[in-house]
Structure 1
């Protein structure tokens, strides 16, 4: 059975979500954040950088939530969370999947982190975030999710940053993205993950 090292209020919820969708159990080891909202020293005994999530599967130790999601989909032969391999839709999905952490997260955190500290983000940071939220809205288009009517790995990956943005009340001017996020929160795997491990974002 896979062991999941899960930091509270973190990207680990993404992994639990997919495992629930796949009907696969895990041995979950939970870690509380420090008073400074950082990962505890115990996680550095699991991964040199104190990463979470981290999964251990036999001799394999894998960090980075995107890699973990891809690993789990491959391990369990899941084809329901991605378009058919090699198609244009598949490569669009892969680009959106990697976009979340490669591009969107950095921009979003430049606004989220000041908000956590009760500070106002620079105007340029807020403008950049607005551009990205407009982009996400356009990618959702008229469908329920990023790739139409079917939930994909890209949607699961997107969830954590959207949870933080909603927590800081930063989605109000972007109703299409907010509606998309609300649809994600209605998914059974997401609900089961929160029931098991608590919310993605810290409470107000």
Structure 2
């Protein structure tokens, strides 16, 4: 039986959503973040040396990394669903989105999160203005322009289409859901109507709603 080790308020929700779509029996083991560092607890290191989430345990086969887990579950339990034919060019567009989600879009969002944490971190009063100035400079000169570039690209790809690849939901949409939700939580999406509509479709999906009921919202609450 599959066990999914899932950190609360994290991208692991995507795998819960995928499992709900597939209808594959699974057990969900949820872990709480450290209240100060927001990192995963040490218990996860007993399962995988890096102690990261999500972690998939399929009858003793341990797999880390969201993209690899998504690919594995679809190819093992999907019965041809949620991915294009391997012989098609759409398959390689599908692979592009699987890698783009974590390889290009998420690092940018994580960098923004790091600087957001720096601005709110406890520090001597005379250091805070300097830290905020450096953080503001990085955000205005790099993070925000790059975010606009990436979001404009995704928005244009969604022009006149419901899903990223082909005419139906695929693993590409599952992987892209979290970074786009995180971006929508941090940036003004007024200029990205196609992404807004896309996220509404995702969040209205029945299996997604079941996943949220079981695992909670994926978005990190920094005010806790």
Residues 67, 99 of structure 2: 8 Å contact kept: yes
Deviations 1:69-113 (A, max 9, x none): 111112214322111111011111111111111111112322344
Residues 111, 129 of structure 1: 8 Å contact kept: no
- TM-score, normalised to structure 2's length? 0.84
Aligned mates of 1:112, 1:174 — CA distance in 2 = 21
Aligned mates of 1:114, 1:16 — CA distance in 2 = 29
Q: Which runs of 5+ in 1 are unaligned?
A: none
* Structure 1 residue 62: Cα displacement: 0.3
Structure 2 counterpart of 1:41 = 42
The count of corresponding residues between Structure 1 and Structure 2 is 204
Moved over 6 A (4+): none
Aligned mates of 1:25, 1:96 — CA distance in 2 = 27
Structure 1 counterpart of 2:147 = 129
Note if 1:27 corresponds to 2:27. yes
Residues 5, 52 of structure 1: 8 Å contact kept: yes
Q: Which runs of 5+ in 2 are unaligned?
A: 121-134
Structure 2 counterpart of 1:101 = 102
Which structure: larger Rg?
A: 2
Out of 177, 195, 201, the residue aligned to residue 213 of structure 2 is 195
Residues 146, 154 of structure 1: 8 Å contact kept: yes
Deviations 1:147-202 (A, max 9, x none): 24311101100111122122224434322222211221111121111011100103
Structure 1 counterpart of 2:131 = none
* Structure 1 residue 19: Cα displacement: 0.6
Aligned mates of 2:79, 2:114 — CA distance in 1 = 35
- TM-score, normalised to structure 1's length? 0.92
Structure 2 counterpart of 1:185 = 203
Aligned mates of 1:156, 1:127 — CA distance in 2 = 25
Aligned mates of 2:64, 2:9 — CA distance in 1 = 17
Structure 1 counterpart of 2:175 = 157
What SS does the corresponding residue of 1:86 show, helix, strand or coil?
A: coil
Aligned mates of 1:122, 1:25 — CA distance in 2 = 46
Residues 164, 201 of structure 1: 8 Å contact kept: yes
